[in-house]
Structure 1
Amino acid sequence: MELIFSGPVIEWRGPSPYYFVPVPDEESADIREVAAMVTYGWGVIPVEARIGEVVFRTSLFPKDSGYLLPLKASVRKQSGLAAGDDVTVRMTVALHEQPPRQAPQS
């Protein structure tokens, strides 16, 4: 599943400051439809994202009814991003094929 969206860079001012791009409602709804097939626990969703020329792998964090795309320091520095900047994100959520179920043996 490929998604393209724009949004502001926000700063999470917790004990460890971090930066995110909120995934808009429509795209978050699309992700929720496949979340059970792609999450590896705690509701996080592995993705590959691209901002400008910078491509990176990370995992979306669930927040309220949406998701946050984390931006590592290396991604922000390469892209020249700061809190409040608007960015366009191209993001791929890898849909994994479910293994075929085997019939119970008697």
Structure 2
Amino acid sequence: MTFTAPLWRWSARRETADPSAWCFVTLPPEVSDAVRDLAGEPRGFGSVRVSVATGSSRWDTSVFPDAESGCFVLPVKKAVRDAEQVEEGDQLTVKVEVRP
């Protein structure tokens, strides 16, 4: 599943200029629904293991449910943000695959 969404900083870290602070993209509702359908039994915190690609970066991580939006959120680590030259507010095109 491929989508484009803005990169945002975790609200608990918005007040800091720390470049290593947690940043995320929110999966659109239809992608979140598809992830739920494919995930099977949820893991801790309702997380779902995924493989992710954006630009030339590829990594394995988990997406986490967000009660506020009702969607999953995907953490985008600093090494990926640096490699792809993106920062908070930039649009990021992401491919997500649910891992078994």
TM-score bracket for this pair, using the shorter chain length: 0.7 to 0.9
User: Which residue of 1 is the match for residue 11 of structure 2?
Assistant: 13
Query: TM-score normalized by structure 2?
Result: 0.83
Unaligned residue ranges in structure 1 (runs of 5+):
97-106
Contact conserved, 1:35 with 1:43, CA < 8 A, in 2? no
User: Which residue of 2 is the match for residue 78 of structure 1?
Assistant: 83
Unaligned residue ranges in structure 2 (runs of 5+):
14-19
Contact conserved, 1:49 with 1:91, CA < 8 A, in 2? yes
| Structure with larger Rg | 1
SS at match of 1:49: strand
Q: More helix per residue: 1 or 2?
A: 2
User: Which residue of 1 is the match for residue 38 of structure 2?
Assistant: 34
TM-superposed CA distance for 1:60, in Å, is 0.3
User: Which residue of 1 is the match for residue 96 of structure 2?
Assistant: 91
Residue-by-residue CA offset, 1:26-51 (whole Å, 9 max, x unaligned): 111111223334x3322001111001
